Amino acid sequence: MRLLLVSPLSGPPEERRRGKGLLPPLSLLTVAGLTPPEVEIKLVDEAVEELEISAEWDLVGITATTAQAPRAYEIAQAFRALGVPVVLGGIHPTALPEEAAQYADAVVIGEAEGLWPQVIADAKAGRLKRFYRHPEGKFPELKDVRPRRDLLKKDAYVLTSTVQVTRGCPYGCAFCSVTRFFGRTYRTRPIQEVLEEVASLKEKVIIFVDDNIMGLPSYARRLFEALKGLGKHWLSQASLPQLQDETLIKLAAESGCKGLFVGFESLSPEELKRVRKFHNDTRRYVETIKRLHKYGIGVIGSFIVGLDSDDKSVFERIKEFAFRAKLDLLQASILTPLPGTLLYEEMEREGRIVDRDWSKYNGNHVVFRPRLLTVEELQRGFRQLLKETYSWGGILRRLLGIHWRWPIFGTLNLIFRQGVKSYLRRVSQLAAG
Ligand code: SF4
């Protein structure tokens, strides 16, 4: 049997670009690892290489986030027109399985573990079912995870060593699909298995793609203790409450932590409550960043614009915060009601969703009616915020005076600056017609 696994290009057609990728699609590598060894597999990540549509495959598996969904459906239709069966999976098909089923022979709902071997067996027998799902409330155990990194295109990515240690998050923010996708569970891998995987990677820098690596502090402590001896550097994501524990931060730093993605999202306590991010205390933002810097850990701070109480001043306030708090990187996005989230349900009820072109659901476009801003004001303010925080002056104002002990944040700022510049260039080309 010959299996093709595809990660489609993301975003609207005019924004899709192929080039050097930042991170490889770990979910597909993991699915490949669940496939019986006799199956021949090819993996194509459209972000870094061209996809050829041909009838040489017995099965095509496509993963899709919401912004990838239109391209995933296009690819699925092209293969099916040649008589090749297609399976869709990932966050978007899980949120809207009936929609995905219109474009595929089968849809995998939820995580692939425990379902994928059956999909392969059914495909071989020519009797794919329409949907594959876990029994209600059941989530797979996280062990024997063996991503097939041998399928990766060499040198196609800036950082290649992605590892997943946990799944899920203890919180339930209204705009986020993590808790809906992984359930209200927080599952961890056996530490020994993680150590073996990390030790087997040649690269010095590891990206733990977890949504909340410190979600269970007792596990995080054991993990960090165990990582200490490996001499690796690592980056991941964490939440504000766990970052108040200085002993945990110190241990993370000793184990090689060099950067954490932190979801600050808003400077307004009321707005944080409204989006159910109850665990963020705005009074602790600056001191948390200082604490992380003290231990040589850079901060990638995420902020959302377009929240209900955001007016024209929000862009300036976030920019000033990024400069004052010395954010190593600012990850700004426009509020997006992703299908499958509470925010989507709320906005749907209120009739505020104005654009259902899923390719625009990537945090760069306004797809809903904001409360205190017009669509144009939000779009323009977002672009200005990116432009000013990633200008040379903006980068210097954020980075000057803080640790320069680890050069990756210099490199990441250059990559983000490049991304922002080409995004703004495309926007102005489109506006010019
Ligand atoms: S803390 Fe982060 S990962 Fe967890 S639900 Fe909120 S946004 Fe999602």
Q: Let me know whether 335 and 277 are in one domain.
A: yes
pLDDT digits (tens, 9 = 90+) for 295-322: 999 999 999 999 999 999 999 999 999 9
Q: Let me know whether 125 and 179 are in one domain.
A: no
Length of the chain: 433
pLDDT digits (tens, 9 = 90+) for 61-80: 999 999 999 999 999 999 99
Q: What is the pTM of this model?
A: 0.94
Atom number of ligand 1 nearest to Cα 169: 4
What is the rounded average pLDDT of the residues 179-187?
86
Asked if the structure places residue 138 within a domain, the reply is no
Q: Let me know whether 425 and 298 are in one domain.
A: yes
Q: Measured in angstroms, how far is the CA atom of residue 170 from the centroid of ligand 1?
A: 8
Q: Measured in angstroms, how far is the CA atom of residue 176 from the centroid of ligand 1?
A: 6
Indicate if the pLDDT at residue 425 is higher than 90: no
Rounded to the nearest integer, the mean pLDDT of the chain is 94
pLDDT value at residue 336: 98
Asked if the structure places residue 147 within a domain, the reply is no
Q: Measured in angstroms, how far is the CA atom of residue 169 from the centroid of ligand 1?
A: 6
Indicate if the pLDDT at residue 168 is higher than 80: yes
Q: Let me know whether 192 and 246 are in one domain.
A: yes
Asked if the structure places residue 141 within a domain, the reply is no
Q: Does ligand 1 come within 6 angstroms of the Cβ of 168?
A: no
pLDDT value at residue 161: 94
Q: Let me know whether 116 and 171 are in one domain.
A: no
Closest CA to 11 of 308, 433, 322, 430: 430
Q: Let me know whether 171 and 124 are in one domain.
A: no
Indicate if the pLDDT at residue 404 is higher than 70: no
Q: Measured in angstroms, how far is the CA atom of residue 337 from the centroid of ligand 1?
A: 14
Q: Which two tokens stand for residue 358?
A: 């899923």
Q: Does ligand 1 come within 6 angstroms of the Cβ of 263?
A: yes
Query: End-to-end alpha-carbon separation of the chain, Å?
Result: 47
Indicate if the pLDDT at residue 282 is higher than 70: yes
Q: Let me know whether 47 and 179 are in one domain.
A: no
Q: Measured in angstroms, how far is the CA atom of residue 25 from the centroid of ligand 1?
A: 20
pLDDT, greater one: 360 or 178: 360
Indicate if the pLDDT at residue 33 is higher than 80: yes
Residue at a domain's end among 133, 151, 179: 133
Pocket probe for ligand 1: among 164, 242, 260, 277, the residue whose CB has the most ligand atoms within 8 Å is 277
Asked if the structure places residue 139 within a domain, the reply is no
Chain-centroid distance, C-alpha 301: 14
* SS3 labels along 366-414: CCECCCCCCHHHHHHHHHHHHHHHCCHHHHHHHHCCCCCCCCHHHHHHH
Per the structure, the count of domains in the chain is 2
With cut-offs at 50, 70 and 90, classify the pLDDT of residue 232. Answer: very high
Indicate if the pLDDT at residue 411 is higher than 90: no
Indicate if the pLDDT at residue 401 is higher than 80: no
Report the CATH number that the domain containing residue 308 is assigned in CATH.
3.80.30.20
Whose tokens are 């614009």? That residue is 305
Q: Let me know whether 181 and 127 are in one domain.
A: no
Q: Let me know whether 279 and 190 are in one domain.
A: yes
Report the CATH number that the domain containing residue 11 is assigned in CATH.
3.40.50
Atom number of ligand 1 nearest to Cα 176: 8
Q: Let me know whether 349 and 233 are in one domain.
A: yes
With cut-offs at 50, 70 and 90, classify the pLDDT of residue 229. Answer: confident
Q: Does ligand 1 come within 6 angstroms of the Cβ of 173?
A: yes
Asked if the structure places residue 84 within a domain, the reply is yes
Beta sheet of 298-305, edge-to-edge order: 162-163, 205-208, 233-238, 257-265, 298-305, 329-334
Pocket probe for ligand 1: among 164, 167, 171, 278, the residue whose CB has the most ligand atoms within 8 Å is 171
What is the rounded average pLDDT of the residues 395-404?
79
pLDDT value at residue 406: 64
Q: Let me know whether 179 and 129 are in one domain.
A: no
Q: Measured in angstroms, how far is the CA atom of residue 365 from the centroid of ligand 1?
A: 21
Q: Let me know whether 171 and 129 are in one domain.
A: no
* SS3 labels along 133-174: ECCCCCCCCCCCCCCCHHHCCCCCECCCCEECCEEECCCCCC
Q: Are 363 and 265 in contact (CB under 8 A)?
A: no
Closest CA to 303 of 263, 347, 268, 361: 263
Closest CA to 22 of 329, 304, 318, 336: 329
CA distance 246 to 202: 30
Domain that holds residue 384: 161-431
